[in-house]
Amino acid sequence: MRKRSAAAVIGGVALALCSVQSAGAQAQNFPNHPVKIVVGPSPDIFSRIVAEHLQQVWGQPVIVEPRPGAGGKLAVSAVSSAPPDGHTMLFATPTYTLNTAMKTATYDLMKELVPVANIGVISYALVAHPSVPAKTVAELVAYAKQNPGKLNCASAGIGTVPHLACEYLNKVAGTNILHVPYRDVNSGTMATVGNITQMFFGVSTSAKSQIDSGTLRGLAVSTAQRSVLLPNLPTMMESGYPTFNMPGWGGLFATAGTPADVVDKINREVQRAVLKPESQKRLIAAGMETPPPMDAAAFKTFVEDDIKRWTAFVAAVGIDKLTTQQ
């Protein structure tokens, strides 16, 4: 009995050591064939910038594959059904965490996928048509209250971050600004430039060009810190709304079950990519600012906190306002 027990212990230790060595070998050999980054309903420029660096370092093709449509379902399905080896990843944005918070997602983000690395942070800018007599958020709110029915707020579609931002401003400011959904960010921007709608929470990079040209007036940004792209605009928090913190972001997720060593290897290389001066310059020009350093575990916590943040916003606004056109 003692001999068999000792043999069992030795066998168990050997098996554990083999498992550790196997995991290490997987990371050492990764990648051993082309890597794919699947992009859902968001621009693919951010993934392409990082993919160029990864391809140069790894010596394997890194392909960016757009899979738009179905609110990100097609992109998630393409990654969740792939082998869990890190060779297929998803470029994710708040679309996925907001859908999770709204309980409209047909996938389980945190069970089907594993967070790998944050690529950057995106701020949304509250802009208004120049005909609106407001140069600050306070003046906009005062005008909205004094002129009910005169302001319409565009969004990039029902249930998007700009939609939630419009409705949350109504909630915290006590206004009744009408939400008007459009099919995408560009359509919402141009509707506001044309004074069809009078205000919009737009991605800072597209808002900046309109602000600089004078076709729209910038009032504030949605993040806790001021935007590198629009440093002269105060935050919504600075403007008197301390709970108004709606950051955008973009990051990579892998298939659930991907070895931790592989996840860590990808994370380290992505962090190197986004810290390269050339990559930083290109990412900022495209609208994505450098994120704080995060290992894979910290990024997982970041995503979990993002789901909690959107859940609180959805509860405050009411799910009915975010799933139907009012």
Please write the tens of the pLDDT for every residue from 73-92.
899 999 999 999 999 999 99
- Residue 190, pLDDT score: 93
Mean pLDDT value across residues 143-165: 92
227 assigned to some structural domain:
yes
Q: pLDDT band for position 5 (50/70/90)?
A: low
Q: Are residues 217 and 165 in the same domain?
A: yes
Q: Tokens 């609180």 correspond to what residue?
A: 312
325 assigned to some structural domain:
no
Render pLDDT for 266-288 as a digit per residue (tens, 0 to 9). 999 999 999 999 999 999 988 89
Per the model's pLDDT, the better-predicted residue between 25 and 2 turns out to be: 25
66 pLDDT more than 60: yes
8 assigned to some structural domain:
no
296 pLDDT more than 80: yes
Beta pairing partners, 35? 62
Domain that holds residue 109: 34-121+247-314
Q: Are residues 221 and 298 in the same domain?
A: no
Total number of domains in the chain: 2
User: Domain ends where: 224, 245, 266?
Assistant: 245
100 pLDDT more than 60: yes
- The pTM assigned to this predicted structure is 0.84
233 assigned to some structural domain:
yes
Q: Which residues of 195-230 are buried (b: 16+ CB within 10 A; e: fewer)?
A: eebbbbbbbbbbbbebbeeebbbbbbbbbbebbebb
Quick one: what percent of the chain has pLDDT higher than 70? 91
Residues 6 or more apart in contact with residue 51 via CB below 8 angstroms: 37, 62, 63, 64
User: Domain ends where: 194, 212, 245?
Assistant: 245
217 pLDDT more than 90: yes
Render pLDDT for 302-319 as a digit per residue (tens, 0 to 9). 999 999 999 999 999 998
- Residue 1, pLDDT score: 47
Render pLDDT for 162-178 as a digit per residue (tens, 0 to 9). 999 999 999 999 999 99
Q: Are residues 237 and 252 in the same domain?
A: no
Q: Are residues 140 and 230 in the same domain?
A: yes
Q: Are residues 251 and 108 in the same domain?
A: yes
326 assigned to some structural domain:
no
The rounded Cα 145 to chain-centroid distance in angstroms is: 32
Averaged confidence pLDDT in the chain: 90
- Residue 325, pLDDT score: 60
Quick one: what percent of the chain has pLDDT higher than 90? 75
Rounded Cα distance, 251 and 16, in Å: 32
